[in-house]
Structure 1
Amino acid sequence: MRKLDEVYFEVLQFINHETYLLDHYKFDEWLKLLTDDVKYVMARRVWSEGVSTIDMKAPLMAENKYSLEARVKKLVNEFSWSEVPKSLYRHMVSGVFIEAQNNDEIKVRSNVLFLRHRPTSFMAEIPEYEIFSYEREDILRGDKDGLKLAYRLIIPDLPVIPVHALSNLY
C-alpha cells in the first residue's frame, strides 16, 4: 500500500488534469480518463418539509461510456446549437479528500463550483454567467496508464439546476 500523501498527490493531479481538459474542450482526451465500465450519475436533490434528501431513483443524468461518447460527439458537432457561440467553462474543485482506498480503487469526495459564461452574441459586452455548485463522489481506479474515473456521483446543492442546459459535462 502506497503512502497517503503520494496517493493524494496523484488524485489531485488527476482532478486538475481532468478539469483542464473539460474547461478547454478537450473532450476526446477526457474520454480516455474513463474506465470502460464508468457510471456517471447526477442525483436529484429533494426538499420536503425543510429536510434535504438525495433521490437516486430518478437521477437527472445516468450515463455510461457509450452515452458519454455520444454526448461528446454532440457537443463538438458543428450543429451543437446550445454551444454557438461556445461557452467558457470553469470547474473550481475544492475540499478534495480521500474517503477510502482499497487495492486499485480510491474513493474521493470534493466540492465543485461550475461557472459557464454564455455569450449572448459574438459581440457581447456584458457577460452572462451560470453558476452551479455541487458535491462530488468519485471512484478512481488505477491501471497501467494511471488513474481513471470508474464512478462519479454529482449531488447538486439545489433541487433546481440553475443552468441553461445539461448538454455539457459537469
Structure 2
Amino acid sequence: MTTEVSRADVEDFLFHEADLLDQWRLPEWLELFTEDAEYQVPCMDLPAGANPDTSLFYIADDRFRLGERVKRLMKRTAHVEFPHSKTRHIVGNVRLKSRSDDVIDVAAVFTTYRSKDGITDLYLGSSDYRLMPHNGSFKIKSKRCVLDADALRPAGRISIVL
C-alpha cells in the first residue's frame, strides 16, 4: 500500500457498509467481501477467542454461505424478513489496531436497531474487521460481531445482518 490509511478512511468505509445494510442493498454489501472472507457472530457465552470449528456460533459463514444468506434474505419467501425490517446500523469508536501493506485490523462498536411488526429490537456489541486495501477503498477479509447481551431475548433471533 503506497498511501497512508487514516481512521477517517476506515470510518467512511464502515459507514458505507452500514448504509448498504440499512437500505437492504445486500448484494452490493456482499461485494465488499473478499472471495475468502469470513463473517462470524459467536454465541454470547463464548470466550473472546472461540473458534467456530470447536464452538457453537450463531453465524459462522464463509463467503459462499454468506452469499447464500444474502440470496435467501432478498427473497419474498424469507418470511421473517419480508417485508424487510427497518434497521439502523450505528458504528462508533473505530480504532485501527494494526496495519501492514496488505491488511488492516480494525475494532469498532455497533448498535443496530431493528424495527418490524411494531417491535423494535436492539443489538449492541463490538466488531473486529480485517480489511484489505482494494482500488482506493477496502475489502472485508473477516468480520466478527460479538454481541454485548446476556441473551437474545426479547429479540429472540438474528434474522438481519449486524
Q: What TM-score results when the alignment is normalised by the length of structure 2? A: 0.88
Amino acid at match of 2:125: Y
Quote the offset at 1:2 in angstroms.
3.7
Please say if 1:73 is aligned against 2:67.
Answer: no
Residue matched to 2:133: 142
Equivalences, count: 156
- Any idea what SS the aligned residue of 1:168 has? coil
Shift of 1:38: 0.4
Provide the rounded CA distance (Å) in 1 between the counterparts of 2:14 and 2:90: 10
Alpha-carbon deviations, 1:74-105, whole Å to 9, x = none?
Answer: 11111110023321011111111101101121
Distance in 1, Cα, partners of 2:114 & 2:127: 18
Structure exhibiting the larger radius of gyration computed from Cα positions: 1
Report whether the alignment pairs 1:53 with 2:53.
Answer: no
Q: In the superposition, relative to structure 1, how do residues 65 and 53 fare at CA in structure 2: closer, same or farther (>3 Å)?
A: closer
Structure 1 residue 146, shift from structure 2 partner: 2.5
Unmatched tracts of structure 2, length 5 or more: none
Q: What is the aligned partner in structure 2 of residue 94 from structure 1?
A: 92
Percent identity reads: 22
Amino acid at match of 2:68: A
TM-score calculated relative to the size of structure 1 = 0.84
Do the aligned residues in 2 keep the contact of 1:40 with 1:61 (CA within 8 Å)? yes
- The alpha carbon displacement at 1:164 in A equals 4.1
Unaligned segments of structure 1, at least 5 residues:
47-51, 120-126
Superposed CA offset, 1:129-149 (max 9, x none): 000111110011012362011
Tell me how far apart the structure 2 counterparts of residues 164 and 23 of structure 1 sit (CA, whole Å). Answer: 20
**C-alpha RMSD of the superposition:** 1.7
Hey, what does 1:132 align to over in structure 2? 123
